[in-house]
Amino acid sequence: MPGRTLEQLILHISNVVAPVVLCVLVGFALAKFKLPYDNKMITMLVSNVGYPTLIIAHLSAGHVEFDAFLIMMAATVAAVACFGVIAFAFLSVVGLSRRGFLSPLMLNNVGNIGFPICALAFGAVGGAYAIAFLAVVLVGVFTIGMWLPMGKVTLGDLVRKPVIYAVIVALVLMATDTRLPTPIDRTFTILGGLAVPLLLLTLGHTLATLQTGALWRGCYLALFHLAMAGGVAFALVHLFGFTGVERGVFILMCMMPPSVATYLWVDMYDPDHAPDVAGFILIATLLSVIVLPLVLAFWV
């Protein structure tokens, strides 16, 4: 961030990162004090109400051009594909289960952490670009994120996910430059406001209750994930010619830690590897507290 004094830089990073970290810590504290918190109900609420209304309300407001939004989605598909190819080769070399570890290495935590960080750092425009990245990853979580640990492909669950239809509706609204009627827009804005705080609380609660395995394995996987993400972000930013806000958002989203949602699928369908996957996600998430401020300060 050129042109800022050190004091301004520290203040800006604190204003972006601190609210996210504090919300996560509140969720962590809820778990440690054993206060009632229904993870499954809240995840269902966010998936079926919060995310769909957030996507439609934010994108129908016209913060970014339709073409730019589609380019960001295409770049996200390219990033996830690169992560998949590189991680597949890495896991084959080190002898770790591709069924258990491939999806966490491919799909980043762009919902719980990525979207609020980008919205705080770059405002409404940054939030809209972040939703382009988020939409692709959400589809990935409910497809390859589930199929890899399950060991088979099923389409039944996908067609029942409201977020898929929300993305389609939002794209139609953007393509036709259509605005929602004011009462519906305000309703969706209120309901979409549920998503970010509940996601951050749930992330903290989940991290506090993870049953982790060998943390040494989590450490080297987290470092590999970080190096891979940085390399892919650097290459694709230049390939797609991103500048300004879209560049900053794309880099930040690539540098996010692995998605906690991928652990839930691994725990359900490949429980033998779930503790080691949990350790990887925990270490990578803790590492992001250091990495993301550095990315904000020196890269975006």
> Average pLDDT for residues 186-211, to the nearest whole number?
91
- At 1 the pLDDT is 58
The CATH classification of domain 6-298, taken from the options 1.50.10.20, 1.20.1530.20, 3.40.50.720, 3.30.390.30: 1.20.1530.20
262 neighbors 104 (Cβ within 8 angstroms):
yes
- At 51 the pLDDT is 92
Q: What would the pLDDT profile of 156-172 be if each residue is shown by its tens digit? A: 777 888 988 999 999 99
Q: What would the pLDDT profile of 201-255 be if each residue is shown by its tens digit? A: 998 998 898 887 778 899 999 999 999 999 999 999 999 999 999 999 999 999 9
How many of the other CB atoms lie within 10 Å of CB of 101?
27
Whole-prediction pTM value? Answer: 0.91
Sign of the alpha-carbon torsion through 203, 209, 213, 219: positive
Domain boundaries, the chain: 6-298
Cα-Cα-Cα-Cα torsion 218, 222, 224, 226, nearest 10 degrees, comes to 180
For 241: left if phi > 0, alpha if psi spans -120 to 50, otherwise beta; the answer is left
107: confidence class by pLDDT, cuts 50, 70, 90: very high
Given a cut of 80, whether residue 268 has pLDDT beyond it is: yes
- At 182 the pLDDT is 94
**CA separation for the pair 24, 113 (Å, rounded):** 9
Instruction: Pick the closest to residue 110 from 287, 249, 211 (CA basis).
Output: 249
